[in-house]
A and B are shown apart, each in its own frame.
Chain A
Amino acid sequence: MSTAPATTSGGSDAGRPPPSVPRTAVPPTATPPTVTPAGSTPPAEQLVPASVSTPARGDSGWDPAERRARASQSFWTAVVGVPAIFSVLRLGIEAGGELQTTLLLVANVGPVNLLAGFLTTAARLLSTVLVAVFALGGVLVASGHRLARRPLFARWTEITPGWFVAASFLMALVTWPMLYLPLLLPAFAAAFQLRPERLHERPAVRALIVVAAYAGYLWLLVPTLRDAWRQAEALPIVLLVVPPLLALFVAGPLPRMVIRPLAPVTQLAVLVVLVWAALPVISTPVLPLTVTTVGEPGATAAGATEEIRGHVVTTDDVNMVILQERGGVRYVPVDQVRGQVLCPSEEELPRYRLRIHDFHVEDSLLEGLGRRVRPVHRVDAACR
């Protein structure tokens, strides 16, 4: 991310104070005076954020085009490389840490499938991290002029193009559970520093718009809130009701005494959360969970069949290779396979019994829409 194209995001900084001091204040602390003279003329101002994004190479003296090209190259390397490395790590975990099993998986799981599988399971984490970075970055940018050194997230937010930030929010919108979607509002307001003043010039009209929008929002949620109240679930009520109100106040500079500890603490927190949340993603299976019924041809008694719970790695003319859920690989002769069903895993069990207009609160918009298309999902008996 730090090596992303050195473009300042247009329009995203409309509400914040003019950053005249900080942009020139950073490079001297990061790099010795060999850096391109900064601060006085507009062209030099254009260069500074790039040197901020790559402080180690700030003295290289490349021209902007070359730097942008290299940054773009690094960016795309990261976009392709990080999922690839993650996917290989996942294969290792999926194989139960066994070298030979890992090699078996590597030999049979195609790179495209692996990448697609990774994106399917990691999209939520990825969008969460991006939204957190840009929202915090927005807050830090707005207050950054009160600090001697601009925080990392503020620099990232500044050099990231607006479309990328918007795309991150869009990805979060479709992949986050609906229960957490209201949090996107204050995050969005913080990232783009949107204040209610933008709505209308006259305060009375502004208040009217805000009240009407909030009332409509609550009206939409009344059945869900009522159910949550009956079930004594406090957190869902807070998560649904409070965030839109926070969005009204979240934009704007923070006092110096707040911003100084906030920057390092939140940056560290995002990093810790990234690692903490990445662990479940890494250990999410790559292959779908199935139950395969195996038995000698012609056998009818219950004792003559066996149900193998696991992930099918590959099937050829002779064998079906199954990676068992409890570990180990089984080679089952194809003519002994009596049946096979797809099973859900216990991680998919819901935590709440709440719905927003028949969409389960723990479903994302994508999942919810998917369930409208294929509503009936019967858990096969063999999965129990």
Chain B
Amino acid sequence: MGVSLSNSRWRSVATTTAVALTLLLGAAAGCDSQREPELPSVQEKLRESHIWGQPVLRIGVADDEPLMGEVRNGVHVGFDVEIARYIAASLGYEGEHRVEFVNVSTEDRIPALQGGVVDLVVSSFSITEDRKKQVSFAGPYFVTTQEVLVPNRHRAAIRTIEDLRNPEYKICTSGGSTTEAELEKHQVSTLVVKDVWDCVKGIRAGKYDAVSSDETILAGFVARHPTEFEIVDMPFGTSELLGVGVPIGDPALRDLVAYFLDKSYQQGRNGEASPWQTAYNRTLGPWLRAEKRQPQPLDVPKLVDFDDKAPQR
């Protein structure tokens, strides 16, 4: 009798506790379902950024780097341009009338961002510690190396960094580029011009003997003049991380660009056709000696977006 009473009391207490906890959890779930999301959303970041409400997005690109950024029949084409279009479309700017491509030379990239002439720069912009003090970077979206482009007349003579130091050869590079600093580090005296295109024109005119720059840019000139030039692989030892330049005062826009680059990266990792891969295949892919993949972007913020609930597999 005593055992049955204590059993029934225990049962009664257990039932009461269970009912109370169920009600509590139900209430917690109810409150939770009405709660605002804690994670910042893409829309919120967009509202914080300086481009919010702007009818047109201005993007700085190169107009003289074949395969990366050039103007063909009045239309901007190239890998950088395709990446720029993807970012613009992700930010809500789709179609030619919503995106304005502004031609920026290598040395004008930082002033253009600082002066508000452009909202973004996607123009073979290497991420460096020095530049990070002046502009923000999202990315990298490409990893390249520094190489040397030589005309056929010198293809046997210029093979090493030592050959570049030979005062007989005039080595050309573009001003304000990471290549300029790198060559200086290797005690290679250079002739600095505005753009790599000027170097190539100079070589064809017999004014210079070689040009050093990113492999991606040089591959473009090989693509343009396949019978005249060759890329020589030299051990400069540094890799160039290309990033998207964003005004330093707009961290929200930097976060958004990093988020969308990462989205493309994740798509590629899952084996889907990513915007990056499409851009690569259409432009650089056939001209680079080794197959490249999209590098993982750094400092990607955790944002929520409308398509987060879509299946990932």
Stretch at the interface among B37-45, B137-145, B157-165, B213-221: B37-45
- Nearest chain B CB to A123's CB is how many angstroms away? 14
Specify which of B34, B38, B309 lies most central, judged by the most chain A CB atoms within 10 Å of its CB.
B309
- Measured in the bound complex, the distance between the Cα atoms of B36 and A273 in whole Å is 18
- Nearest chain A CB to B96's CB is how many angstroms away? 8
Contact flags (1/0) for A35-69 with B, using CB distance below 8 Å? 00000000000000000000000000000000000
- Measured in the bound complex, the distance between the Cα atoms of B91 and A378 in whole Å is 13
CB closest residue in chain B, given A299 = B97
Contact flags (1/0) for A198-220 with B, using CB distance below 8 Å? 00000000000000000000000
Which parts of A282-308 form the interface with B (CB within 8 Å)? 300-303, 305
- Measured in the bound complex, the distance between the Cα atoms of B28 and A113 in whole Å is 34
- Measured in the bound complex, the distance between the Cα atoms of B306 and A358 in whole Å is 16
A276 to chain B: which residues have CB within 8 Å? 34
Contact flags (1/0) for B33-62 with A, using CB distance below 8 Å? 111111101110010000000011000000
The reply on B259 being an interface residue by CB < 8 A is no
B313 to chain A: which residues have CB within 8 Å? 358
A305 to chain B: which residues have CB within 8 Å? 97
- Nearest chain A CB to B136's CB is how many angstroms away? 21
Contact flags (1/0) for B10-48 with A, using CB distance below 8 Å? 011011111101110111111011111111011100100
A248 to chain B: which residues have CB within 8 Å? 18
The reply on A355 being an interface residue by CB < 8 A is yes
A349 to chain B: which residues have CB within 8 Å? 37, 41, 43, 304-306, 308
The reply on B311 being an interface residue by CB < 8 A is yes
B37 to chain A: which residues have CB within 8 Å? 349-351
Contact flags (1/0) for A330-372 with B, using CB distance below 8 Å? 0000000000000010101111010100111011000100011
B311 to chain A: which residues have CB within 8 Å? 358-359, 371-372, 375
Specify which of A350, A353, A382 lies most central, judged by the most chain B CB atoms within 10 Å of its CB.
A350
- Please tell me if the beta carbons of A384 and B310 are within 8 angstroms of each other in the complex: no
- Measured in the bound complex, the distance between the Cα atoms of B307 and A350 in whole Å is 9
The reply on B98 being an interface residue by CB < 8 A is yes
The reply on A243 being an interface residue by CB < 8 A is yes
- Measured in the bound complex, the distance between the Cα atoms of B26 and A250 in whole Å is 14
Count contacts between A and B, CB distance < 8 Å: 143
Which parts of B58-95 form the interface with A (CB within 8 Å)? 88-95
- Nearest chain A CB to B212's CB is how many angstroms away? 39
- Measured in the bound complex, the distance between the Cα atoms of B22 and A375 in whole Å is 35
- Measured in the bound complex, the distance between the Cα atoms of B298 and A192 in whole Å is 54
Q: Which of B14, B55, B91, B95 contacts A249 (CB 8 A)?
A: B14
- Nearest chain A CB to B32's CB is how many angstroms away? 6
The reply on B132 being an interface residue by CB < 8 A is no
Which parts of B268-313 form the interface with A (CB within 8 Å)? 302, 304-313
- Please tell me if the beta carbons of A253 and B15 are within 8 angstroms of each other in the complex: yes
CB closest residue in chain A, given B14 = A249
- Please tell me if the beta carbons of B32 and A235 are within 8 angstroms of each other in the complex: yes
- Measured in the bound complex, the distance between the Cα atoms of B302 and A292 in whole Å is 30
- Nearest chain A CB to B269's CB is how many angstroms away? 16
Q: Which of B27, B94, B307 contacts A382 (CB 8 A)?
A: B94
- Please tell me if the beta carbons of B92 and A177 are within 8 angstroms of each other in the complex: no
- Please tell me if the beta carbons of B306 and A344 are within 8 angstroms of each other in the complex: yes
- Please tell me if the beta carbons of B18 and A381 are within 8 angstroms of each other in the complex: no
- Please tell me if the beta carbons of B11 and A362 are within 8 angstroms of each other in the complex: no
- Please tell me if the beta carbons of A239 and B11 are within 8 angstroms of each other in the complex: no
The reply on A379 being an interface residue by CB < 8 A is yes
A371 to chain B: which residues have CB within 8 Å? 309-311
Stretch at the interface among A19-27, A83-91, A95-103, A179-187: A179-187
- Nearest chain B CB to A279's CB is how many angstroms away? 10
The reply on A322 being an interface residue by CB < 8 A is no
17 pairs from A and B in contact (CB 8 Å cutoff):
A235-B32, A246-B22, A246-B25, A248-B18, A250-B18, A250-B22, A255-B16, A303-B55, A344-B306, A349-B37, A350-B304, A350-B308, A351-B32, A351-B37, A353-B304, A371-B310, A375-B311
Q: Give residues in B with beta carbon < 8 Å to A.
A: 11-12, 14-19, 21-23, 25-30, 32-39, 41-43, 46, 55-56, 88-98, 302, 304-313
15 further contact pairs, Cβ within 8 A, besides A254-B15, A353-B308: A186-B22, A187-B26, A235-B28, A238-B28, A243-B25, A253-B15, A273-B30, A349-B37, A350-B37, A350-B304, A351-B35, A360-B308, A362-B309, A380-B94, A384-B43
